[in-house]
Amino acid sequence: MFDARGGFWFTCLGQTDGEVRRMGALYYASADRSRVDRWRSDLFSPNGVGLSPDGRTVYMADCMVGRLYALDLTRPGQMALQSSVAPGHVVCTLPGFQWLDSLALEASGKICVATLWNGGISVFEPDGAYKHIPFPDPLATNICFGGADMRDVWVTCSSTGKLYKCHWPRPGLKLPFNA
């Protein structure tokens, strides 16, 4: 996820060989390639990152635990000091067996996260309330917004290999480097 200065946030899911698990992390890379900072590590399965419309919050999905975090920024690429052992403020943990994947934000600040095993997009309010939008595939893996009015949404569904394009009820957040 690029910020307005050209730096970007990214996650590393970690890896496993079936017996040993290497934990994942959240990183920031500067636009001039002078540094890459690991801001949060020892995360079970970080996968999906986005910035709030005002650029003051990083949202990160922890895939296999079905949890969405909000992490405060003091300035672009600079995270606020941690106040607890948690990687950030928990926005929501989904009930049951649901995994989170890629995410995109609406212009209003709602966080739209592709959701595995229940097939669809989970739309979170920053306060934790959420609604599920179903898709005809149990493995919705990616979401992005585009189009002239930012209401076109593309969703990848991995068990069928299909790419869906839909009209979304609200506009997505225009990214700093949209074409």
Residue-by-residue pLDDT tens, the chain, 179 positions:
999 999 999 998 888 888 988 889 999 999 998 999 999 887 889 999 999 999 999 999 999 999 999 999 999 999 998 777 888 899 999 999 999 999 999 999 999 999 999 999 999 999 999 999 999 999 999 999 999 999 999 999 999 999 999 999 999 999 887 65
CB atoms within 10 A of CB 84: 7
> What is the model's pTM?
0.93
* Domains, the chain, with CATH or none: 8-167 (2.120.10.30)
Q: Which of 5, 105, 117 is nearest to 57 (CA)?
A: 105
